Structure 1
């Protein structure tokens, strides 16, 4: 089984299937839960930005895969429902078109909190999420090695909030900096849930140079269970090498993430929104 440089297992194959069944079947067995824990914090930021801007908030989900955050924010779903929705025998007996049609009907009738665009390097995942109506638009790009095209920049222009739940590490400062500077006259808020063994400093350095204020909220979130003892041992070695104590956290069998709130220099009502999100985090994390 392949591992990345932090010692974490690489599960690339579940992100490139024509539909989300393998994704949810695999991650259900690992109790993957960070999108559910992140949802109230994203929703709170969206609510504050909506009140400040007086219009629909435009969200970019970085590393969105099959649009999981969008299903929670706009589709009225929970992770427990999605695990059952894609994992039950009826779902596995369906062909691709039948599954897609079922999803279109499921996600068509909910009032959307925000306009959510997905960014990912997996074209199959994006195609499914967009065709099913989960995402409002989709951009397939690897911004670690490529610059945004003019068309992609136009699709992402006007973004108010960039969110992510675990893709930092696969992508880094090159991607985040490009997303921060899509528009010349404004920069988006950002809220990233980052695994503890993945250094955020290069991203923070670039954002700070652009005038962002970056806050690391103290409480931590469970991401998923370790795949194996080997993965746990390798991740703990990485944490120890970085001077991070895994006691009571990763040594209990779970990967943990931390929330990084990034306020742009011209943010509206930044203190109130950040304090509110941080308060929720401390109660729920």
Structure 2
């Protein structure tokens, strides 16, 4: 998930998140314990589904030029959850047990960081990729950097300002952008800013709530030479609704987009669709 930012009024996603429950208090804490404990009752699960997808996509991207040496940028990286699952022999259930369980309850943030450095180092995969994180949440990105989940972290709002010199430099090595929870909080402006700084053939793998339009972002990706595809029949659950108002809003938005909610949002859960964007020649 991504720390909240508000799109401009001219953007089609401007009100797409209006009926979605805000969890502002958990996105930018010094460590991820509150994040996991707050989301556990709602069975937040999209990173679990993204783990296998991102590993397959990364393998395919590494098979194309420039090869294994590329960098992945995780957009709306928060505490580095996608990085933890991509680069380590861990499951989402393992992370819930670690951060929402009793074992880390009484630790200070400093003690947790020391523990997590060893926790992640011991589970690091031999095929781990260099990973850059971008999010507006400075505390969350600082944690992910401190424990070794991210190689570089940038707490920047690309909806409002251009990439910093450091982020623009980092983009020169990025071959894949991943995102699981940020579309709607970030718009085409963020993608334009990142793709304008790209130097390698860039792939994008994005999980998008069915309540949020992706057309404008897809258009921007097209303008940067990327072709976007999706399997309309393959959906991925995100989390349970927090209550009837959130569910009602989601059902109305999905139906307004022309999609059926039977057994999906109508049954009590947000669902996402995966959009994959690659250079037209690929």
TM-score, length of structure 1 as denominator length: 0.88
* Contact 2:16 2:211 survives alignment (8 Å): no
SS at match of 1:191: strand
Aligned residues: 265
> In the alignment, what sits opposite 1:281?
none
> In the alignment, what sits opposite 1:202?
216
Match of 1:115 among 109, 127, 130: 130
Please tell me whether residue 262 in structure 1 is matched to residue 274 in structure 2: no
Match of 1:135 among 142, 150, 156: 150
* Contact 1:6 1:197 survives alignment (8 Å): no
* Contact 2:88 2:128 survives alignment (8 Å): no
RMSD of equivalent CA atoms = 1.7
Please tell me whether residue 233 in structure 1 is matched to residue 248 in structure 2: yes
> In the alignment, what sits opposite 1:188?
202
Give the C-alpha shift of residue 235 in structure 1.
Answer: 1.4
Please tell me whether residue 21 in structure 1 is matched to residue 36 in structure 2: no
> In the alignment, what sits opposite 1:62?
75
Aligned-partner Cα distance in 2 for 1:112–1:18: 29
Aligned-partner Cα distance in 1 for 2:241–2:16: 14
Alignment gaps of 5+ in structure 2: 5-14
Give the C-alpha shift of residue 29 in structure 1.
Answer: 1.1
Range 66-75 or range 204-213, more displaced: 204-213
Give the C-alpha shift of residue 147 in structure 1.
Answer: 0.9
Please tell me whether residue 166 in structure 1 is matched to residue 181 in structure 2: yes
Give the C-alpha shift of residue 236 in structure 1.
Answer: 1.3
Would you tell me which structure has more helix in proportion to its own residues?
Answer: 1
> In the alignment, what sits opposite 1:51?
63
Q: Describe how 1:84-123 pairs up with structure 2 within 5 A.
A: 84-109=97-122, 110=124, 111-123=126-138
Is the alpha carbon distance of 1:49 and 1:242 closer, same or farther for their aligned partners in structure 2, counting shifts above 3 Å? closer
SS at match of 2:207: strand
Match of 2:193 among 154, 178, 187: 178
> In the alignment, what sits opposite 2:11?
none
* Contact 1:75 1:134 survives alignment (8 Å): no
TM-score, length of structure 2 as denominator length: 0.89
* Contact 2:176 2:202 survives alignment (8 Å): yes
